[in-house]
């Protein structure tokens, strides 16, 4: 395989992995977040469970659970899963001071938090390109990465 074809193949693998994680997150948000809404529906509107910062963390959790499960299924080790999960929460957490100070509202937190989440996930992936664009991980969660060949 030529260097150009190998680079294209790795880029495609990287992009598909990103897309698969986003799909897993969307499924989690569609399946798990309604359970949270159902569980908290009877609580007063001023309850801690209805605070925007709490709800954003719950929403992130509903996306982290299936995304992390998908990464483990694909054979990723704990460290990349934890890094990706942290990136997903960080997209919201960094905005909390702006929410608490009134600089952004609930809609702003949700919109910006999701955008930041996707950007931080991409940054986490770019920090470990071999993890996300290399060989198929399934069944190789604890196997060492192959040594680079002389032709790479």
Calpha distance 60→88 (Å, rounded)? 7
Cα dihedral 88→93→94→97 (10° resolution): 160
What per-residue confidence (pLDDT) applies to 77? 93
The domain limits of the chain are: 3-39+48-133
The predicted-structure confidence for 51-67, as pLDDT tens digits, reads as follows 999 999 999 999 999 99
Confidence of residue 135 (pLDDT cuts 50, 70, 90): low
The predicted-structure confidence for 65-123, as pLDDT tens digits, reads as follows 999 999 999 999 999 999 999 999 999 999 999 999 999 999 999 999 999 999 999 99
Given a cut of 50, whether residue 24 has pLDDT beyond it is yes
Q: Report whether 113 contacts 91 (CB < 8 A).
A: yes
């Amino acid at each position: 395989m030529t260097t150009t074809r190998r680079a294209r193949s790795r880029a495609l693998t990287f992009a598909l992995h990103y897309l698969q994680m986003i799909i897993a997150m969307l499924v989690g948000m569609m399946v798990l977040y309604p359970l949270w809404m159902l569980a908290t529906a009877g609580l007063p509107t001023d309850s801690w469970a209805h605070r925007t910062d709490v709800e954003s963390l719950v929403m992130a959790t509903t996306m982290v659970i299936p995304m992390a499960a998908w990464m483990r299924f694909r054979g990723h080790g704990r460290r990349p899963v934890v890094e990706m999960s942290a990136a997903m929460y960080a997209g919201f957490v960094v905005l909390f001071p702006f929410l608490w100070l009134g600089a952004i509202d609930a809609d702003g937190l949700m919109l910006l938090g999701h955008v930041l989440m996707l950007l931080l996930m991409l940054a986490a992936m770019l920090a470990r390109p071999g993890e996300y664009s290399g060989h198929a991980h399934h069944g190789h969660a604890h196997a060492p990465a192959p040594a680079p060949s002389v032709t790479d």
